[in-house]
A and B are shown apart, each in its own frame.
Chain A
Amino acid sequence: MKLNLKIWRQNGPSAPGNFVDYHVDHVSPDMSFLEMLDVLNVSLVNKKETPIEFDHDCREGICGSCSLMINGNAHGPETGTATCQLHMRRFKEGDTIVIEPWRAKAFPVIKDLSTDRTAFDRIMAAGGFVSVNTGNAPEANSILVGHDTAESAMDSAACIGCGACVASCKNSSAMLFVSAKVSHLAQLPQGHPERAKRVRGMVTQMDQEGFGNCSNTGACEAACPKEITLENIAQLNREIVRAVFKD
């Protein structure tokens, strides 16, 4: 396949960026989107040009490193799929593909398509964990979790923290991410001791990072590669009211 690419190039966080046109040849339909970019980067290196910076790690759809706004859709046209799991068979010979970084004030561009998503790490550090004492693992049957609860918590826990929700939101809101983390732990007994403190801490940090507010539009849910639902946001809204009355 031959493809035309329009890729956002930006030298640094404060440098002005612009779209640059590239052409790639010999793209196999079985390649992943990131492999197609690898092919392009190899050709750029061979021409002594600077390769395009983009984030990636596991390439198995579970690490949340890859990002990329592809033709205006976070992670491209496929639903419930991260960029690394998107295959070139989704595109046609001669297609023009526009590739951009996530755009949000809280996710500044580091270089080209790579953005600084450490705001999510700081939100996690503000409460997205369970404090446990070290020592022997507790007896498995001492904390019972019902099947439906376990499944529902697992659905929330599926969030990989890629930031597609923020990039897709007209307000650059991080509510889907934060709510997935809050609901995951709020549903499990292990998360209960720090339940109120967690939601207060994470929401306060989210606001400080400069993310927008939720307009209940649902664009995040549509873009999420892990299909995290808006029900998590409703739960977050409940959790923060509950936290007013709890320590």
Chain B
Amino acid sequence: MAHLKTFLKSSVGRKFLVGLTGLGLSGFVLTHMAGNMLMFVGPEAYNTYGHKLTSTPLIYLAEAGLLAMFVVHMGLALKLALENKQARGTGPSQNASNCEKNARFGSRYMALTGILVLAFIVLHLISFKYGTYYSVNYQGVEMRDLHRLVVEKFKSPLYSGWYLFSMIVLFVHLAHGFSAAFQSLGFFSVRNCLIKKIGWAFALLVAGGFFIQPIYGYFYGGN
């Protein structure tokens, strides 16, 4: 137990947890994106999927797990980022920015992109989960017409534009985060080209999948 405490308090242990929760959240965004793809099948498939998800009691367990992962991931990552800022040396330097330049693009902006993703999630929950409740009836089953709400939102260029921007931010966050998580867990090194490529592919898949939805909703949603 004492060793576990040492591990969890150490910088490396906390990075481990950030990586682990990051991978958990990556799994969530992947399934979320895949589920949303039902939008292309039609309103009935989309709404039935949403209805099935929310009508099982397991959803509360899943939501609690997600929330816990978010809290751990953000809390520890922010603390680590603040420590990192403090560790930098003081004194004016003509070349201090070189350290920044040497680092991969995504890795330099993890805190910023993370905060932007958080802002997106909060507004996203407000507009959909806690948004207008339209109802629809399929074969006698009353359920929420989320499809209508989604299409309505995506019809706004401002909303869609902000959504698209957020997906680019998510891409940058995942492109570094996914492969770096494996390094933090000690599985692979980020030097490993394969894991880097998988990280990019994963980020492209998730962000790209979400990306086409508002475009589709904006141009073809109503029909």
Contacts and interface: CB of A to CB of B under 8 A. Distances in A.
B84 A170 contact: yes
Nearest to A70: B95
For the complex, would chain B's binding face be called helix, strand, loop or mixed by DSSP majority?
helix
A141 B159 CA distance: 71
Contacts of A102: 89
A230 B87 CA distance: 20
Interface string A146-176: 0000000000000000000001111111010
A126 interface: no
A232 B45 CA distance: 49
A72 B103 contact: no
A47 B218 CA distance: 75
Interface in A50-84: 69, 71-73
Nearest to B88: A172
Interface in A193-209: 196, 200, 203-204, 206-207
Contacts of B191: 218, 221, 229-231
B52 interface: no
Interface string A205-247: 0110011111111110111000001110111111111011111
A169 B11 contact: no
A211 B103 contact: no
A241 B11 contact: no
Interface string A8-30: 10100000111100000000000
For the complex, would chain A's binding face be called helix, strand, loop or mixed by DSSP majority?
mixed
B95 A69 contact: yes
A72 B186 contact: no
B7 A240 contact: yes
B120 interface: no
Contact of A103 (B10, B89, B183): B89
Contact of B189 (A16, A72, A173, A230): A230
Interface size class of B (residues with CB under 8 A): 35 or more
A83 B207 CA distance: 44
A100 B108 CA distance: 23
A105 B99 CA distance: 15
Interface string B95-128: 1111111111001101000000000000000000
Interface stretch (B12-20, B31-39, B137-145): B12-20
B190 A215 contact: no
B108 A170 contact: yes
A116 to B, nearest CB: 12
Interface string B176-199: 100110011111111100000000
Contact of B84 (A19, A168, A203, A215): A215
Nearest to B8: A244
A71 B104 contact: no
Contacts of B84: 170-173, 212-213, 215
B189 A234 contact: yes
Contact of A218 (B6, B88, B96, B104): B104
A103 B96 contact: yes
B94 A98 contact: yes
A124 interface: no
A19 B91 CA distance: 11
A44 to B, nearest CB: 21
Contacts of B102: 168, 170, 217-219, 222-223
Contacts of A175: 12
Tell which of A6, A16, A100, A223 has the most Cβ of chain B within 10 Å. Answer: A100
22 contacts: A8-B91, A19-B94, A72-B95, A100-B93, A170-B84, A170-B88, A171-B88, A172-B87, A173-B87, A203-B12, A204-B10, A214-B184, A215-B84, A216-B176, A218-B191, A230-B190, A231-B191, A233-B189, A236-B186, A237-B12, A243-B7, A244-B3
Interface of B: 3-4, 6-7, 10-16, 80, 83-84, 86-104, 107-108, 110, 176, 179-180, 183-191
Given A171-B88, A203-B10, A234-B183, 6 more contacts: A19-B94, A169-B99, A173-B87, A217-B104, A221-B191, A237-B12
Closest 5 CB pairs of A and B: A103-B89, A72-B95, A72-B98, A212-B87, A238-B186
